[in-house]
Structure 1
């Protein structure tokens, strides 16, 4: 199961590492989108969300402070779903459907990250259960 856990971790983390890098590489375009969605302090929000995605993804991928990484990701994707994908405000049917898909995706990813956070922080999953890792997999538990 170590191989399955490692593959799952890497696949989950890759999405957020890539997204975090994208936030920095396309900072101006993403800031413009955040302004369009009326996010206050848009550039700061893009920088913080990019940092949370990047750190969270790296922590999960390498197996260091996985609970902290998962919590950073959960906070970011759940807030992004609510702020950026408010499908209930859309009047155009296609736009509403696209925003609802993005909203549901963000909530599902946030839910998965919260499960990972809870399993690691509670000690239900320990380092020996988590597959190859560097350092302590938990930031919050002893």
Structure 2
């Protein structure tokens, strides 16, 4: 089961690691989009979300401070859903549908992140049960 758990962690983390890298590789483009969505301090927001996605994904993939990584992802995902995918403000049917899909995806991923956070933080999953990992799986519980 360790192999399945590691594969699942890597697959879950992959979207965040690649997204975090994209935030930095396409910083100006993403900053322009954040400005379009009226995010105050747009560039700082893009950098912060990119960092949270990148570190959160790496932490989960490696099994190091998994609870912190999952919490970072959950916070960023909920904020992204509300700020960037506010489908309720759209009037074009196609745009509204696309934003609703993105909103729901972000909330589902935030929910999965919170489940991971709760399982690690509560001690319901021990380091041994978590599968191969690098260092301590918990930041908050030592």
**Smaller-chain TM-score bracket:** over 0.9
SS in 2 for 1:140: coil
Distance (Å, rounded) in 1 between the aligned partners of 2:99 and 2:80: 11
Residue ranges of structure 2 left out of the alignment (5+ in a row): none
Whether 1:4 and 2:26 are equivalent positions in the alignment is no
Corresponding residue of 1:66: 66
TM-score by length of 2: 0.99
TM-score by length of 1: 0.99
Q: Which runs of 4+ in 1 moved over 6 A?
A: none
SS in 2 for 1:129: coil
Q: How many residues align?
A: 142
Deviation of 1:141 after TM superposition, in Å, equals 1.1
Distance (Å, rounded) in 2 between the aligned partners of 1:80 and 1:129: 32
Deviation of 1:102 after TM superposition, in Å, equals 0.2
Distance (Å, rounded) in 1 between the aligned partners of 2:4 and 2:140: 25
Distance (Å, rounded) in 1 between the aligned partners of 2:134 and 2:90: 45
Distance (Å, rounded) in 1 between the aligned partners of 2:93 and 2:59: 39
RMSD over aligned CA atoms reads: 0.5
